[in-house]
């Protein structure tokens, strides 16, 4: 039909829902309760247990999870973030890693990434530190674990808050020599996304994990209008009143409506059951990709740090390769292979940065190289041998 986008041989993302997810949606429909309730509570409990964390707060997107995490740290009793405080961030991530920080008046300190892992270069943390530094945001890019143990130790040493943006790297694991822990277990607050293209999909959805009762209570209040009815006992955020009528609509901090629906959580419960098998399939594809391109010196591919959960396959056209990135894109289009920018590229290159108070450590050479010469193709939780082989055949002809 005219106007329809033709299906590619290799799409950037794929549907992972089956009969179980459809049955879960029907279960919610039959219940007649669609807004946040028992399904959300069950998914929060299961997701927290999967990561060995005490508390999970589901929201309507990973971007909202980052907003909740930032907002919560502006309301803590001890060391709250205030306008003008500095936050160390990697130069490459998705835009909504950064936007909540700007919206709360914080100054960003951009640090370059490593060319091979695409994660923050932790050797530059000391150079990024100033007397105004109050927090670090650690991002594991596209399934590849960042040096989260190093960031956590640095944050502890300097009494900094540590936000872990794990929206792209659910189920990844650090190297054994770094403890082998899952990503998402290092932050004072750790965030996740369940968008269509991510490791599990609830359509739209996100999660905040924490072990701190105060942060859990704040996150729950911020998620739902800033009112008290979702704040658990023991959070110690406010004095409980005796007037039940008034307490039901009592607002204690500025909040939003970032609540998920029961549909999202019901699907999330089914997707979480499938996650180990889906991650294993992604890792098998990653091994095939590494075998195909690991020795091709024209391209820089991600060096795996620990056990990647492999969101996708990144490629940077090496400056010494003699190739121009546009010369790669044409054959990929002709072969029906989808491709796109590496996350959001080097964020200081975007127009939105004019609204930010920020500075950079050095010239961000690697982030700029990835921005100008990098791209990625998709990984999916099923066998992609034919797709990877075709990619190899296309690129070896260049």
Please report whether residue 240 resides in a domain.
yes
342: number of CA atoms within 13 Å, CB side? 34
The yes-or-no verdict on residue 129 having pLDDT over 70 is yes
Q: Residue 346: phi, psi to the nearest 5?
A: -80, 110
Residue 238, pLDDT score: 81
Same domain (yes/no): 24, 141 = yes
Please report whether residue 194 resides in a domain.
yes
- What are the DSSP calls for 104-169, one per residue? TTPEEEEEPBPTTT-SB-GGGHHHH--TTEEEEEEE-GGGPPP-HHHHHHHHHHTT-EEEEE-TT-
Instruction: Tell me the pLDDT tens digit for each residue of 160-202.
Output: 999 999 999 999 999 999 899 999 999 999 999 999 999 999 9
Instruction: Name the nearest CA neighbour of 138 among 128, 180, 130.
Output: 128
Are 282 and 169 spatial neighbours (Cβ–Cβ below 8 Å)? no
Are 394 and 335 spatial neighbours (Cβ–Cβ below 8 Å)? yes
CATH of the domain at 299: 3.90.1150.10
Same domain (yes/no): 59, 26 = yes
Same domain (yes/no): 116, 226 = yes
The yes-or-no verdict on residue 326 having pLDDT over 60 is yes
Mean pLDDT of the chain: 97
Report the share of the chain in percent with pLDDT over 70: 98
Residue 204, pLDDT score: 97
Same domain (yes/no): 313, 255 = no
Question: Of these residues, 198, 199, 225, 380, which one is catalytic?
Answer: 198
Instruction: Tell me the pLDDT tens digit for each residue of 60-83.
Output: 999 999 999 999 999 999 999 999
Residue 232, pLDDT score: 87
Mean pLDDT along residues 247-270: 96
Specify the number of domains making up the chain.
Answer: 2
Mean pLDDT along residues 211-233: 94
Instruction: Please name the residues in contact with 235: beta carbons below 8 A apart, sequence gap of 6 or more.
Output: 213, 214, 216, 217, 218, 220
Please report whether residue 14 resides in a domain.
no
Same domain (yes/no): 236, 307 = no
The yes-or-no verdict on residue 227 having pLDDT over 50 is yes
Please report whether residue 1 resides in a domain.
no
Same domain (yes/no): 254, 295 = no
The yes-or-no verdict on residue 141 having pLDDT over 90 is yes
Mean pLDDT along residues 349-367: 99
Residue 247, pLDDT score: 86
Name the pTM for this structure: 0.96
Residue 5, pLDDT score: 57
Greatest Cα pair distance, the chain, in angstroms, is 75
Length of the chain: 398
Across 54-68, 224-238, 247-261, least confident range: 224-238
Please report whether residue 8 resides in a domain.
no
Mean pLDDT along residues 361-384: 98
The yes-or-no verdict on residue 237 having pLDDT over 90 is no
Residue 6 pLDDT class (50, 70, 90 cuts): low
Residue 318, pLDDT score: 97
Distance CA 133, CA 123 (A): 17
Task: Quote the distance between the C-alpha of residue 245 and its chain's center.
Answer: 39
Residue 276, pLDDT score: 99
Please report whether residue 12 resides in a domain.
no
CATH of the domain at 47: 3.40.640.10
Residue 123, pLDDT score: 99
Same domain (yes/no): 298, 284 = yes
Same domain (yes/no): 23, 73 = yes
Outline where the chain has alpha helix (H). Answer: 19-31, 38-51, 62-73, 95-103, 125-128, 148-157, 213-223, 244-247, 262-293, 325-334, 365-373, 385-396
Same domain (yes/no): 55, 160 = yes
Same domain (yes/no): 53, 118 = yes
Residue 345, SS3?
A: coil
Are 107 and 357 spatial neighbours (Cβ–Cβ below 8 Å)? yes
Residue 260 pLDDT class (50, 70, 90 cuts): very high
Same domain (yes/no): 47, 138 = yes
Residue 1, pLDDT score: 46
Residue 125, pLDDT score: 99
Which among 212, 240, 269 is the end of a domain?
269
Which among 269, 294, 313 is the end of a domain?
269
Of the two residues 4 and 392, the one the predictor is more confident about is 392
The yes-or-no verdict on residue 233 having pLDDT over 80 is no
Please report whether residue 11 resides in a domain.
no
Answer yes or no: 198 catalytic: yes
Which among 269, 291, 325 is the end of a domain?
269
Domain membership of residue 123 as a residue range? 19-269
Mean pLDDT along residues 144-153: 98
Same domain (yes/no): 259, 373 = no
Residue 241 pLDDT class (50, 70, 90 cuts): confident
Instruction: Tell me the pLDDT tens digit for each residue of 100-119.
Output: 999 999 999 999 999 999 99
Query: Among all chains, which residue has been given the structure tokens 């039901």?
Result: 248
Please report whether residue 297 resides in a domain.
yes
């Amino acid at each position: 039909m005219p106007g329809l986008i033709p299906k590619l041989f290799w799409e950037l993302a794929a549907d992972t829902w089956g009969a179980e997810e459809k049955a879960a949606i029907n279960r919610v429909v039959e219940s007649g309760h669609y807004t946040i309730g028992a399904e959300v509570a069950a998914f929060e409990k299961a997701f927290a247990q999967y990561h060995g964390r005490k508390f999970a707060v589901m929201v309507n997107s990973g971007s909202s999870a980052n907003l909740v995490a930032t907002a919560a740290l502006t309301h803590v009793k001890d060391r709250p973030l205030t306008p003008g405080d500095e936050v160390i961030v990697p130069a490459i991530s998705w835009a909504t890693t950064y936007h909540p920080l700007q919206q709360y008046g914080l100054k960003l300190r951009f640090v370059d990434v490593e060319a091979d892992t695409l994660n923050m270069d932790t050797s530059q943390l000391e150079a990024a530190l100033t007397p105004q530094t109050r927090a670090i945001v650690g991002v594991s890019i596209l399934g590849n674990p960042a040096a989260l143990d190093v960031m956590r130790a640095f944050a502890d040493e300097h009494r900094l808050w540590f936000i872990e943006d794990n929206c792209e790297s659910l189920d990844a694991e650090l190297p054994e020599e770094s403890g082998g822990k899952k990503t998402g277990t290092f932050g004072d607050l750790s965030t996740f996304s369940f968008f269509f293209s991510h490791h599990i999909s609830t359509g739209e959805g996100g999660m905040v994990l924490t072990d701190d009762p105060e942060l859990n209570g704040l996150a729950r209040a911020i998620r739902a209008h800033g009112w008290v009815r979702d704040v658990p006992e023991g959070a110690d955020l406010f004095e409980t009143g005796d007037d039940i009528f008034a307490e039901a609509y009592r607002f204690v901090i500025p909040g939003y409506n970032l609540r998920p629906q029961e549909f999202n959580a019901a699907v999330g419960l089914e997707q979480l059951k499938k996650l180990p098998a889906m991650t294993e399939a992604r890792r098998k594809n990653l091994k095939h990709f590494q075998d195909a391109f690991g020795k091709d010196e024209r391209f820089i591919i991600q060096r795996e740090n620990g056990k990647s959960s492999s969101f996708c396959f990144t490629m940077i056209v090496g400056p010494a390769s003699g190739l121009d990135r546009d010369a790669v894109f044409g054959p990929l289009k002709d072969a029906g292979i989808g491709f796109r920018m590496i996350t959001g590229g080097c964020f200081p290159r975007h127009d939105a940065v004019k609204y930010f108070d920020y500075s950079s450590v050095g010239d961000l050479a690697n982030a700029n190289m990835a921005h100008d010469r990098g791209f990625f193709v998709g990984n999916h939780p099923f066998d992609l041998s034919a797709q990877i082989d075709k990619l190899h055949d296309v690129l070896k002809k260049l």
